[in-house]
Copies of this chain bind each other. A is one copy, B any other.
């Protein structure tokens, strides 16, 4: 069996295991996303997925990214007020973001240390912690 077919199968398995019906569009999007750890905007996903003849519509890209995030396959990041970024790696970690180049990279878990406050506002609990180190180019 070819590698491509194997990859497709494992993507389908991944979707099913998260309660997502694997349509051809979703499989195509998932294959692009989960190929490697990366941080992508909806537009970038659109470009990756629409290289060939069979196009996936913008609406479906957005709906699918939203669905994947909701089902825990992706993490939506709030690093840039102008557009959403989706992280194909969902384990807990943080980010560098270079605003000049729009490039994001991960901060390895053991390169950072955060001691959170013990006192939270009345009646609340932590949902998640997002830390972003904004960078600029030197000189």
Q: Residues on A close to B: CB < 8 A?
A: 76, 78-81, 84, 96, 98-99, 103, 105, 107-108, 111-121, 123-138
Q: Give which listed residue, B96, B107, B111, B129, contacts A133 with CB less than 8 A.
A: B129
Stoichiometry, copies per complex: 2
Contact between B135 and A132, CB atoms less than 8 A apart: no
Contact between B112 and A117, CB atoms less than 8 A apart: yes
Contact between B112 and A115, CB atoms less than 8 A apart: yes
Q: Give which listed residue, B98, B115, B124, contacts A121 with CB less than 8 A.
A: B98
Q: How far is the CA of A125 from the CA of B121 in the complex (A)?
A: 33
Contact between B127 and A136, CB atoms less than 8 A apart: yes
Interface centre among A99, A105, A133, by most chain B C-beta atoms within 10 angstroms, is A133
